[in-house]
Amino acid sequence: MVLRHLTALAGVLTLYACHGEATPSASGAVDGEEAVAHAGPFAPGVEPGSHPEELAIGGVRLHLDPDSCTLTSLRAEQIRSHRLALAPPCHFSAPPGAAPRVVPTDAGDVVIVESSRPSAAPDCDTGLQGLVVRAGEVRPASEVQEVTACPPYEWDDIMYHAFAFDTTDPAR
């Protein structure tokens, strides 16, 4: 367990070093941005947002490993890992040609992670799992939504709001 957290910390710190970015402040703020996509560590020199495996929302830095569908979150000195209920590869959902979409809801800011495989033409079997970020905490939705649409796709606000109230938070 400790080794897993140390490995996650080393990976996150490497992300900052690769991008020449400042590490988060004690308050958790990262470069004063609320929701900004950054290129992943496996693509140095790529324009920010062109590989949406890294995202900052409300002072929380999220890194998604597309090969394992493991999400690592960093806020101040706190690092958490979540194994998402999606089949690899997965990525943050983004409309065509845009950065990952973050929708504010009463439960917190919601971003969708998606995993897709081709099925009978012209469809795809796509799994969607929402992540709710509120007060520095990341809560994955407890269920995966299965749809027949091929990414990139712009999901409507209803999908984001549905995920906002379907989380593993025991208080809900």
Tens of pLDDT, residue by residue over 44-78, are 333 333 445 899 998 899 999 999 999 999 998 88
Residue 171 within any structural domain of the chain: no
Residue 170 within any structural domain of the chain: no
**For the residues 8-35, what does the mean pLDDT come to?**
37
Positions of E strands within the chain: 35-38, 54-57, 60-65, 70-75, 78-83, 91-92, 102-105, 108-118, 124-134, 137-140, 145-147
Residue 169 within any structural domain of the chain: no
Side-chain-side CA neighbours of residue 105 (13 Å)? 22
**Tokens of residue 31, six digits:** 């470069």
Choose between 88 and 33: higher pLDDT. 88
Q: Is the pTM of this model over 0.75?
A: no
Structural domain range at position 108? 2-164
pLDDT attached to residue 166: 73
User: How do residues 89-128 score in pLDDT, each as one tens digit?
Assistant: 999 999 888 889 999 999 999 999 999 999 888 889 999 9
Choose between 37 and 107: higher pLDDT. 107
**For the residues 132-155, what does the mean pLDDT come to?**
90
Surface-to-core class of residue 75, CB atoms within 10 Å of its CB (0-12 exposed, 13-18 middle, 19+ buried): buried
Surface-to-core class of residue 37, CB atoms within 10 Å of its CB (0-12 exposed, 13-18 middle, 19+ buried): buried
Tell me the C-alpha distance between 18 and 130, whole Å: 28
| Average pLDDT of the chain, as a whole number | 74
Closest of 48, 53, 80, 78 to residue 68, by C-alpha: 53
Q: How confident is the model at residue 151 (pLDDT cuts 50, 70, 90)?
A: confident
Choose between 36 and 166: higher pLDDT. 166
What is each CA distance from 66 to 7, 31, 69, 77, 116, in whole angstroms?
Answer: 17, 25, 5, 24, 12
Residue 8 within any structural domain of the chain: yes
Residue 92 within any structural domain of the chain: yes
Residue 114 within any structural domain of the chain: yes
Q: How confident is the model at residue 168 (pLDDT cuts 50, 70, 90)?
A: low
Task: Domain count for the chain, please give it.
Answer: 1
Asked if 108 and 149 touch (Cβ cutoff 8 Å), the reply is: no
Tell me the C-alpha distance between 168 and 161, whole Å: 15
**For the residues 120-148, what does the mean pLDDT come to?**
91
Q: How confident is the model at residue 167 (pLDDT cuts 50, 70, 90)?
A: low
Residue 172 within any structural domain of the chain: no
